[in-house]
Structure 1
Amino acid sequence: MDCILHHFDISPFAEKVRLVFGLKGLAWQSVQIPVVMPKPDLVALTGGYRKTPVLQIGADIYCDTQRIAVELEQRYPARTLFPQGSKGLCLALANWSDAAFFQPGAGLSMGTNADLPEAILRDRREFFNFIDFAALPDELPHLYARFKAQLQLLETMLADGRDYLLGGQPSWADILGYFPVWMCRGNIRGGDTLLAAFPRVLAWEPRIAGLGHGERSELDAEAALASAREQHSIAEVLVLGEAVPGLAAGMPVAVTPEDYGAVPVAGELVRLTHEDIAVRRTDPRAGEVVVHFPRVGYRVEKA
């Protein structure tokens, strides 16, 4: 089945998944979604989840780049994202890159990029609850310091001259470390000067960019919705009782991100393990789909 990525080109989080396609040499279809709400075609698939990107494979809808990365690794294990048994380490690094690294970078982008349209700024003021927009002008020096501290961590990871963060092969860890650097280029005032202070990061950066984006083709949203309607989920029903006591397969539940963009997605529980959550839902435009999330970072409870 085809991989369909719902994204927009300037999304740093979507760049993570595009690089996975490149590392694995995969063909995929691109559906461009609006940068700001409303996103009616996307929400028809996800049931409310509004973050970017979302991966669609048939009638299975994968939310969050962590869940997307794991699914692509399972389906396409060649050119692994997790060399030398590094899956746990790589997944654990996501909290570092998504919070400690990305969030000050996002604040700098919001506070220093004069080219951002007002519609994006207005949308992100509501969306990014980790940024105090009223205090942002005074916070910029602190945000620069926080961002530079994460760049120094990258520099330290590469201090022994290795080509990639885990050694001789690119991995999900490299993509996690790279996407805030990608955001820094052109989106943060003085970003090039910031990066110039870290020579090993500068040498590593083009190696990750060189992974490319695989083989991309364009698809319109209506065709993607039709693909979901015409196919069936391959999700295996599995609900572990100890994961969240009191929940069982088929029960109506809501799944909500624990950080920002906390819009609940309601559906019938299909999967609940220590690694993933999935719910089945029906939409007039998308048909019956199963929406997948990682376990870490999401709250699941009775609807």
Structure 2
Amino acid sequence: MTDLILHHYPSSPFSEKIRAVLGYKKLAWKSVTIPAIMPKPDVLALTGGYRKTPILQVGADIYCDSALICDVLEHVHAEPTLYPPHLKGVSRIFAQWADTSLFWAAMGYNLQPKGAAQVFAKAPPEAAKAFSEDRKAMSANMIRLRPGDATSSYRSYLRRIAHMAEEHDFLFGTDPCVADFAAYHALWYTRVQVPVMADILNATPAVGEWMDRIAAIGHGIHDKLNSADAVTVAKNAEPMPPGQNLLVDSAFQDDHGIPLGSAVTVTAETFGPEPTAGVLIAATRTHYTLQREDARTGVVHVHFPRVGYVLRKAEAA
């Protein structure tokens, strides 16, 4: 199989989620470090608009959103599984909650002035301003929690996670599943990226012990790849045909009255409003695939999960 190429940056929490999954599955991967804020010319050459982090590249196939990337890695290497049969439903539902409600409460707490000051302590003042403006643009359609409300929610969520971690080594049993990795990354940001804010974890020692077990998994075997070289990889590859790529379902499911072959856009429901335009070549029960072409990459297939994304005909965008 073509190399797994992860486009990420070190302090990205959703990237930490995927790095830990790669470690759990003991997969080798190529590490492409991308900017935390715009401009991201190499990323946009690959995705056509989507600019959230991380993305996973396999040749000329581009997989967007950490939830979809987890599905891809499960298909690449089924054992150890992220989705144990007896937890297949609850683990996904928990992960979706963790990637949304838990994440935004945690980040609303983490990036209060004291936390933000630590993040940008070694950066020039304009860096903090640029980051703030970038994230403001990405969250234009969102209602964000105020720091006090975020703190209250985060404390409650930590207690609930502690109740689970007190019962087992991992949240649902003796082995981790997708729920563990989804819950871990926002808490990792508190502990590792803004340790000045990490006192909130002290009231739930079982959470810290569980986090230690996740951290001990590591990130797998990886080496560095230049961003421009990753674009060249796409240029020199052919995207996998629908039904033969790293997403296991292939049957067309039409919930929009949009036939395959239509010009469409796919946009995140909330955070990250930038649309990706292309030709719809797959719409299955779990994902969309757009075919698009860029002068630098040639023809690529860009994949999105259905959940959390909006499909529209291009003329109605």
Tell me which interval the TM-score lies in, with the shorter structure as reference length. Answer: over 0.9
Q: Does 1:156 align with 2:163?
A: yes
- On the 8 A contact 1:105/1:188 being kept in 2, the answer is no
Partner SS, residue 111 of structure 2: helix
Determine if contact 1:254/1:301 at 8 Å carries over to the other structure: yes
Displacement, 1:207? 0.4
* Alignment match, 2:151: 144
Aligned counterparts of 1:286 and 1:105: Cα–Cα separation in 2: 37
CA distance in 1, matches of 2:86, 2:287: 19
Report the CA distance between 1:104 and its aligned residue.
1.8
Map 1:27-106 → 2, pairs under 5 A: 27-106=28-107
Alignment-derived partner of residue 283 in structure 2 = 272
Check the 8 A contact 2:64/2:303 in 1, yes or no.
yes
What do the CA deviations read for 1:95-135 (whole angstroms, capped 9, x no partner)? 31122111122222332321334121221222234465xxx
The answer for the alignment partner of 1:167 in structure 2 is 173
* Superposition map of 1:1-303 within 5 A: 1-112=2-113, 113=115, 114-115=117-118, 116=120, 117-118=127-128, 119-129=130-140, 130=142, 139-160=146-167, 162-188=168-194, 190-236=196-242, 238=250, 240-241=252-253, 243-303=254-314
Given that 1:239 and 1:248 are in contact with CA atoms closer than 8 Å, whether structure 2 keeps it comes out as no
Shift of 1:92: 1.6
CA separation in 2, counterparts of 1:245 and 1:99? 25
> C-alpha separation between the residues in 2 aligned to 1:59 and 1:261?
23
* Structure 2 letter corresponding to 1:171: C
Q: CA 1:75–1:233 in 2, change beyond 3 Å: closer, same or farther? A: same
Give me the whole-angstrom Cα distance separating, in 2, the residues matched to 1:175 and 1:165: 10
Deviation of 1:211 after TM superposition, in Å, equals: 1.0
Distance 1:153 1:190 in 2: 23
Find the residue that maps to 1:6 and give its secondary structure: strand
Greater Cα offset, 140-149 or 103-112 = 103-112
**Range that drifts further, 36-45 or 188-197:** 188-197
Deviation per residue, 1:160-200 (Å, 9 max, x gap): 2x101110111111101111110111444753211110021
TM-aligned CA deviation for residue 203 of structure 1: 1.3
Bigger Cα displacement from structure 2, 34-43 vs 110-119: 110-119
Deviation by residue 1:232-285 (Cα, 9 ceiling, x = unmatched): 1114254624x3242222111111110111111111111111211111000001
SS of corresponding position for 1:216: strand
Paired with 1:124 and 1:276, the residues of 2 have a C-alpha distance of 26
Contact 1:127 1:260 survives alignment (8 Å): yes
Question: Equivalents in 2 of 1:289, 1:85: separation in Å?
Answer: 36
Unmatched runs of 5 consecutive residues or more in structure 1: none
TM-score by length of 2: 0.89
CA distance in 2, matches of 1:109, 1:121: 14
Question: Separation in 1 of the partners of 2:137 and 2:274?
Answer: 12
Contact 1:239 1:270 in 2 (8 A): no
1:86 aligned counterpart, secondary structure: helix
8 Å contact kept, 1:109–1:189: no
Conserved? CA contact 1:256–1:265, under 8 Å: yes
Instruction: Give the 3 Å change call, closer, same or farther, for CA 228–90 of structure 1 in structure 2.
Output: same
Q: CA RMSD in A?
A: 1.7
Q: Is residue 6–residue 30 contact of structure 1 (8 Å, CA) maintained in 2?
A: yes
- The share of aligned pairs that are identical, in percent, is 39
Matched position secondary structure for 2:296: coil
Equivalent residue letter for 2:166 = A
Kindly indicate whether the alpha-carbon contact (under 8 Å) linking 2:61 and 2:302 is maintained by their aligned counterparts in 1: yes
Asked whether the 8 Å contact 2:110–2:197 carries over to 1, the reply is no
SS, match of residue 105 in structure 1: helix
The count of corresponding residues between Structure 1 and Structure 2 is 296
Query: One-letter code of the match for 1:185?
Result: R
**Where does the alignment leave 5 or more consecutive residues of structure 2 unmatched?**
121-126, 244-249
The aligned amino acid for 2:133 is: R
Given residue 291 of structure 2, which amino acid in structure 1 is its aligned partner?
R
